[in-house]
Chain A
Amino acid sequence: KAGVTQTPRYLIKTRGQQVTLSCSPISGHRSVSWYQQTPGQGLQFLFEYFSETQRNKGNFPGRFSGRQFSNSRSEMNVSTLELGDSALYLCASNIDGWAEYGYTFGSGTRLTVV
């Protein structure tokens, strides 16, 4: 079966712009989580969506937002981009978000802010 699909793979944006990233989970998975990976901070949790509702949120400013659609696909938006937002953004899907199941990650979107 198809894995977790993230689009686009690469993005270059200018400081101050906004960006939208997309994630399609594994078919049948209803939980989608987003993580930011940087060389300095490693992997940090952004937020999790389940059944179109944000269920959990990390410690990121309000410029980072997301949503989930009825087909479980999720989008993440970053407004007023800063140079420090340059990172690999990873999406992970889970059947229903409960602890007994592990997470499957996508290949990520590499965002570069110039």
Chain B
Amino acid sequence: KQEVTQIPAALSVPEGENLVLNCSFTDSAIYNLQWFRQDPGKGLTSLLLIQSSQREQTSGRLNASLDKSSGRSTLYIAASQPGDSATYLCAVRGGSQGNLIFGKGTKLSVKP
């Protein structure tokens, strides 16, 4: 059974710092991995989608990498801003028509 773990559960950093969020999964047979952002009481906003054949994806200040063989993904946020404060969730898709399996998220707080 696929399990997704995100460490740390919470992270507080000063504005301007570069940071890395970690996601690990137990079964390397995934089709893709998606990173989301969730603001308090709101839905999920998709940040990056990495297919199993890809090693990384970039969007603005965000860069996500995927190492299937080791069951790991990282989300790199450059030059963090207070507006980046949110919970970041990673989710893997185990089959071509399978559902998403989520980690519990990392709650990020960026202090001005």
Contacts and interface: CB of A to CB of B under 8 A. Distances in A.
Given A99-B93, A100-B51, A103-B34, A45 B99 contact: yes
Interface of A: 4, 6, 33, 35, 42-43, 45, 48, 55-56, 58, 88, 90, 92, 97-100, 102-108, 110
Main secondary structure of the interface of A (DSSP, over half): strand
5 contacts: A99-B96, A102-B32, A102-B46, A105-B36, A105-B46
Contact of B99 (A48, A88, A105): A48
Nearest to A99: B31
A98 B99 CA distance: 10
B102 interface: yes
Contacts, number: 59
B43 A98 contact: no
A26 B86 CA distance: 24
B101 interface: yes
Interface of B: 31-32, 34, 36, 41-46, 49, 51, 89, 91, 93, 95-105
CB-based closest 10 A-B pairs:
A99-B31, A102-B49, A105-B44, A43-B102, A45-B99, A107-B43, A99-B96, A105-B43, A42-B104, A108-B43
A105 B36 CA distance: 10
A35 B46 CA distance: 15
Contacts of B91: 43
A74 to B, nearest CB: 15
A100 B100 contact: no
Nearest to B102: A43
A33 B42 contact: no
Contacts of B97: 55-56, 97-99
Contacts of B51: 99-100
A97 B89 CA distance: 20
A110 B43 CA distance: 10
B41 A45 contact: no
A108 B104 contact: no
B32 A99 contact: yes
Given A43-B89, A105-B44, 10 more contacts: A42-B103, A43-B102, A48-B99, A56-B99, A99-B97, A102-B34, A102-B49, A108-B42, A108-B43, A110-B41
